[in-house]
C-alpha cells in the first residue's frame, strides 16, 4: 500500500503520506524536508510512513557510534545515516518507520512533555491491534555511552512503547523539538532483522508481535488524527 493519503475537508487534522518502500539514502532527507516544509507553513501536520528497500542503520544526532558497530555495518554493507532526532542507533529494513510533524501545544514543550502527550494515542493504536502496550519507564540512555552496543532497542525508555505483558520494545521514538513544532521519528519492528543483530550490537533482538503493516498504518493514522483533533479542541476551549 503506497501513495499519498488525502486530507478530507472538515474530517481530518492530519495528512497521511504513505511512501511505501524507499531506498535507504532518501529516507532521512525526506523526513528533514518534511519538517522544514511544516516549519515554513507549507504543509499541514503530517504522518509520513515508509519501509526500507534494504537494511540500513540510523543513529541519533548526538550519538557517538561504537567502533564495533561501525565495523560490523561496514562488513555487512549496511549504510549508516545520522538522524535529525536524538536517541540511539536503529537497524532498519524489517520495520515500519514513521515521521510525524505537528505542533503539540501553543507554547514550546520539553521533549518529555511531548512524549507524555502523544504516548496515549500510540498505546491505543497497538491495543487496537491486539498488542497490549504501555510507555517505557527506563531513563533515557546517554547517547555517548556504548554499554548497550549503541542500540536504541536495548533500553525501553520513557520515549518508547513496550509490550505490557513481556516488556519487549514495540516502538522506538526520537524527537526534534524546534520552537513549538516537533518532528518525531519512530521505528516499529514487523519481524526479526534479516542481518545478524548480535554481530552489530552484541546481543539479539526478541521477536516482535505479529503486526500487519497496512493495518498498523491505518490504525496509527486514525488514533493520531483523533489525538490531534482533541488537542486542537482543548486549545480552543482554553482560549474561550
Helices (H), 103-159: 111-128
pLDDT of residue 5: 42
Identify whether the C-beta of residue 188 lies closer than 8 Å to the C-beta of residue 171: yes
pLDDT of residue 147: 80
Domain boundaries, the chain: 14-239
Tell me: the pLDDT tens digits for 58-75?
Answer: 999 999 999 999 999 999
Mean pLDDT, each 10-residue run in order, the chain (240 residues): 41 90 95 98 97 97 94 97 96 98 94 94 97 89 80 90 94 96 98 95 94 97 94 61
pLDDT of residue 8: 39
Radius of gyration of the chain (CA): 17
C-alpha cell at 40: 515554513
Total residues belonging to the chain: 240
pLDDT of residue 106: 92
What does the DSSP 8-state code read for residue 84? S
Residue whose C-alpha is closest to residue 102's, from 88, 117, 90, 112: 117
CA pair distance 36, 16, nearest whole angstrom: 17
pLDDT of residue 158: 87
Contacts of 135-141 with CB under 8 Å at 24 or more apart are: 135/160, 135/161, 135/162, 136/160, 136/161, 136/162, 136/169, 141/88
Helices (H), 110-196: 111-128
List all residues 6 or more positions away from 237 whose beta carbon is below 8 Å from its beta carbon.
Answer: none
pLDDT of residue 234: 66
Identify whether the C-beta of residue 52 lies closer than 8 Å to the C-beta of residue 83: no
Phi, psi of 94 (to 5 degrees): -125, 15
Pick the CATH number of 14-239 from 3.30.930.10, 1.20.272.10, 1.20.58.390, 3.30.70.270: 3.30.930.10
Half-sphere exposure of 1 (CA within 13 A, CB side): 13
Instruction: Give residue for cell 519538517.
Output: 35
Identify whether the C-beta of residue 65 lies closer than 8 Å to the C-beta of residue 89: yes
Identify whether the C-beta of residue 220 lies closer than 8 Å to the C-beta of residue 49: yes
Angle at 183 between CA 179 and CA 186, to 5 degrees: 150
Name the helix (H) or strand (E) containing 205: none
Tell me: the pLDDT tens digits for 169-209?
Answer: 999 999 999 999 999 999 999 999 999 999 999 999 999 99
Amino acid at each position: 500500500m503506497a501513495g499519498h493519503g488525502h486530507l478530507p475537508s472538515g474530517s481530518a487534522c492530519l495528512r497521511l503520506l504513505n511512501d511505501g518502500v524507499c531506498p535507504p539514502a532518501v529516507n532521512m532527507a525526506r523526513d528533514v524536508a518534511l519538517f522544514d516544509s511544516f516549519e515554513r507553513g507549507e504543509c499541514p501536520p503530517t504522518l509520513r510512513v515508509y519501509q526500507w528497500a534494504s537494511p540500513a542503520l540510523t543513529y541519533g544526532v548526538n550519538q557517538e557510534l561504537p567502533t564495533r558497530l561501525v565495523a560490523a555495518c561496514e562488513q555487512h554493507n549496511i549504510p549508516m545515516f545520522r538522524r535529525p532526532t536524538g536517541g540511539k542507533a536503529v537497524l532498519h529494513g524489517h520495520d515500519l518507520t514513521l515521521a510525524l510533524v505537528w505542533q503539540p501545544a501553543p507554547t514550546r514543550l520539553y521533549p518529555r512533555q511531548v512524549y507524555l502527550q502523544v504516548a496515549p494515542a500510540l498505546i491505543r493504536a497497538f491495543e487496537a491491534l491486539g498488542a497490549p502496550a504501555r510507555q517505557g519507564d527506563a531513563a533515557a540512555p546517554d547517547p555517548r555511552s556504548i554499554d548497550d552496543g549503541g542500540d536504541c532497542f536495548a533500553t525501553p525508555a520513557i520515549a518508547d512503547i513496550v509490550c505490557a505483558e513481556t516488556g519487549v520494545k514495540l516502538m522506538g521514538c526520537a524527537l526534534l523539538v524546534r520552537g513549538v513544532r516537533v518532528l518525531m521519528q519512530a521505528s516499529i519492528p514487523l519481524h526479526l532483522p534479516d542481518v545478524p543483530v548480535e554481530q552489530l550490537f552484541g546481543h539479539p533482538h526478541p521477536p516482535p508481535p505479529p503486526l500487519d503493516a497496512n493495518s498498523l498504518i491505518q490504525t496509527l493514522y486514525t488514533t493520531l488524527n483523533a489525538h490531534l483533533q482533541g488537542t486542537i479542541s482543548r486549545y480552543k476551549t482554553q482560549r474561550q
